[in-house]
Amino acid sequence: MSLDPSRLAPMANAIRALSMDAVQAANSGHPGMPMGMADVATVLWSKYLKFDPSAPDWADRDRFVLSAGHGSMLIYSLLHLSGYASPTIDDIRNFRQIGSPCAGHPENFLIDGVECTTGPLGQGVAMAVGMAVAERQLNANFGNDIVNHRTWAIAGDGCLMEGINHEAIGLAGHLKLGGLIVLWDDNNITIDGTADLSTSENVEARHQAAGWHTVRCDGHDQADISRAIEEAMADPRPSLVACKTIIGKGAPNKQGTSATHGAPLGAEEISAARDVLGWEHAPFVVPADITADWHATGERGKAEHAAWKTRLDASAHKAEFADRMAGVSAGAGAAIEDHIRGLAAEPKTVATRKASEMALGPLTEKLPHLIGGSADLTGSNNTKTPSTSPFSADDYSGRYMYYGIREFGMAAAMNGMMLHGGVVPYGGTFLIFSDYCRNAIRLSALQETGVVYVMTHDSIGLGEDGPTHQPVEQVMSLRLIPNLNVYRPCDTIETAECWALALQTSSTPSILALSRQNLPQLRGEGDEAWTSDVNRSAKGAYRISAAKAARKVVLIATGSEVALAVEVAAQLEEKGIGADVVSMPCAELFDAQDASYRSDVLGGADVLKVSIEAGTTLGWERYTGTEGLNIGLNRFGASAPAGDLFAKFGFTADAIVPQIVSKLEG
């Protein structure tokens, strides 16, 4: 399609009109950014972006990320105008209303053309980095004929101010991700007012220092925009295109001010904007000739898609590529079966972080989809295996990411990798640092991405590093996040089972909370209920040992405290007090079981329920009841060897048994 300004200008104005009309109808939203970036987006869509509106999931499409997600009407307008099935014009009319997929911020699970959920500023760019990583890794394995596309992101001043942006661009520059191009909406406006109220940094110099190529353009001159994009595409480095724009472009009295950022323009200003833009059409009406021009933007992509399918059909790698894009959920259980049988036959007393490494051995060997990594804690997280060579600018075929000290950036990049498809990422750090990347973990859950977070050093059991590094509230607080499975396995077999479960839930992210200290293997061929073909962790909690005397107590524990619960039960049995021990590796999966199973595991009102977990007790009453006993840690830890800390804070059988006896007698 020709870059004829006489045709492109009305196309851009269609974005402006839909954006201001939708925000006005909702009486809520952000019209300024889409109005300001309409020209840039029109040039990108009409000449450079590779997409097929009839196949939003085409594997070799370009990825487009609206990092400045508050300007969601930009992407809704683009998708509708260019011919995607969703959103419809009625969806746009109902912007931000119940039932409309046009939510306040773009949600990937509502509209197929939305690649990722954005809104928390900076994370869109970081997810785009992950998408660019996935593209390079797949390209290295399958070649240009099957995988060869770009990742584009539109970012605002807020995206580039957020701390995660520093992490993301540092990683992208180091990896020389030349297929990544960020279009910066350089309008010098934030919600509070002009950007110079809060920043005076040289954004381009910062990107250059991180190894990026930068170029400037007039964001309202189509020819200049095209020049800058072509320069970015020709450079082997990731690129920042600084598009100098006017926020709210076209609104004569409010453009260039923060008044257009996060509020409707108002009927009077919209009327004036229509006059300025020469837009004589009623709200939500786009003339047929402009619609036809927009629909034509997808024709190039449709042709490229057809040619790609021909190449794929002729490729010897067609089946392998389809398997990669399908993910690992179907094969994860089988990949680890032999490993579990081996553990049952030859028990191992190791830390669960080591048990995780042992499980990852066969998983990474048999599942080429898996890409591991760590935020500079590889030797502590035990996330690297012989099958995972480094992913680097010199070798994009590698399957191990050295993220550096970038926990938040790592988590967001993994979201982008998973959303891209073809790779399944897992990444490690200490559990305490889950707080650094918590908002990306939340977006994993919201976006329904099956990312796996390997979080080691899960309690005071890490010892001498002290309370700054000892998680107390993290496990329970992570359990608050919807659609997130938090696993805290007790031994080698549970760890392997939890890995299988994590990889089988492709729409639910997982946390593996793993110990630093060695733990005994509690299950195996000597286990009276042992069977190699049942994943006992799959129901979230199960009876790991049954009472011998008449049952009066049910001990519910997780992780390292399960072995402690077994010791407590043994002492209670010596006193004639029957005690079941329940291991609860995943509360979320247990809560999903039917009432009869939960009642069978926990017992009725005739037994004392006792929780044992080396963390905050808040929340355990949902299982123990108000009359139960909760053994935990409702304070910060201390610096000392692990054994001394467990003794100091009462995590010993000798300290717990008297409390249970007293409760029973009281």
pLDDT for residue 135 is more than 80:
yes
3-class DSSP assignment, residue 226: helix
d(CA 315, CA 312): 5
User: pLDDT (tens digit, 9 = 90+) per residue, 590-619?
Assistant: 999 999 999 999 999 999 999 999 999 999
- CA 404 distance to own-chain centroid: 18
Residue 452 pLDDT greater than 80, yes or no:
yes
Strands (E), 296-391: 350-351, 370-374
The set of catalytic residues is 407
Structural contact between residues 425 and 133, judged by C-beta atoms closer than 8 angstroms: no
pLDDT tier for residue 532 given thresholds of 50, 70 and 90: confident
pLDDT, tens digit, for every residue of 273-319?
999 999 999 999 999 999 999 999 999 999 999 999 999 999 999 99
**pLDDT value at position 529?**
61
Q: Is 76 exposed, middle or buried (0-12, 13-18, 19+ CB in 10 A)?
A: buried
Task: Kindly report the number of other CB atoms within 10 A of residue 163's CB atom.
Answer: 11
Per-residue pLDDT reduced to its tens digit, 81-112: 999 999 999 999 999 999 999 999 999 999 99
> And the tokens for 428?
């490690």
Residue 345 CB: number of other CB atoms within 10 A?
Answer: 10
Amino acid 253: pLDDT: 97
Whether the pLDDT of residue 332 is over 70: the answer is yes
pLDDT band at 526 (very low <50, low <70, confident <90, very high): confident
Three-state SS for 86-120 is: CCCHHHHHCCCCCCCCCCCCCCCCCCCCCCCCCCC
Q: Name the pairing type of β-strands 424-430 and 151-156.
A: unpaired
Mean pLDDT value of segment 191-199? 93
C-alpha atoms less than 13 angstroms from C-alpha of 131 in its C-beta half-sphere: 29
pLDDT more than 70, % of the chain: 99
H/E segment holding residue 612: strand 608-612
For residue 586, give every residue at least 6 positions away whose Cβ sits within 8 Å of its Cβ, in sequence order, or none. Answer: 485, 486, 487, 488, 498, 501, 537, 540, 541
Q: Is the pLDDT of residue 396 over 50?
A: yes
pLDDT over threshold 90, residue 17 = yes
Report the amino acid identity of residue 398.
G
The confidence score (pLDDT) of residue 639 equals: 98
Closest CA to 559 of 518, 525, 603, 597: 518
**Residues 154 and 67 sit within 8 Å (Cβ to Cβ):** yes
Nearest residue to 243 (alpha-carbon basis) of 260, 262, 227 = 227
Inter-residue contact 312 to 465 (CB < 8 Å): no
| ω into 87 cis (within 30 of 0) | yes
Query: Is the pLDDT at 1 greater than 90, yes or no?
Result: no
Distance CA 493, CA 498 (A): 9
Express as a percent the part of the chain with pLDDT over 90. Answer: 97
For the stretch 627-639, pLDDT in tens is 999 999 999 999 9
Average pLDDT over the chain reads 97
Task: Let me know the angle formed at the C-alpha of 591 by 589 and 593, rounded to the nearest 5 degrees.
Answer: 80
Q: How many residues comprise the chain? A: 666
Tell me the pLDDT tens digit for each residue of 430-441: 999 999 999 999
Write the secondary structure of 21-87 as one string of H (helix), E (strand) and C (coil).
Answer: HHHHHHCCCCCHHHHHCHHHHHHHHHHHCCCCCCCCCCCCCCEEEECCHHHHHHHHHHHHHCCCCCC
528 band by pLDDT with thresholds 50, 70 and 90: low
Q: What gap in Å lies between CA 523 and CA 526, rounded to an integer?
A: 7
Q: Could you report the per-residue pLDDT of 35-75, keeping only the tens digit for each?
A: 999 999 999 999 999 999 999 999 999 999 999 999 999 99
- Residues 417, 423, 424, 430: is their CA dihedral positive or negative? negative
Q: How confident is the model at residue 527 (pLDDT cuts 50, 70, 90)?
A: confident
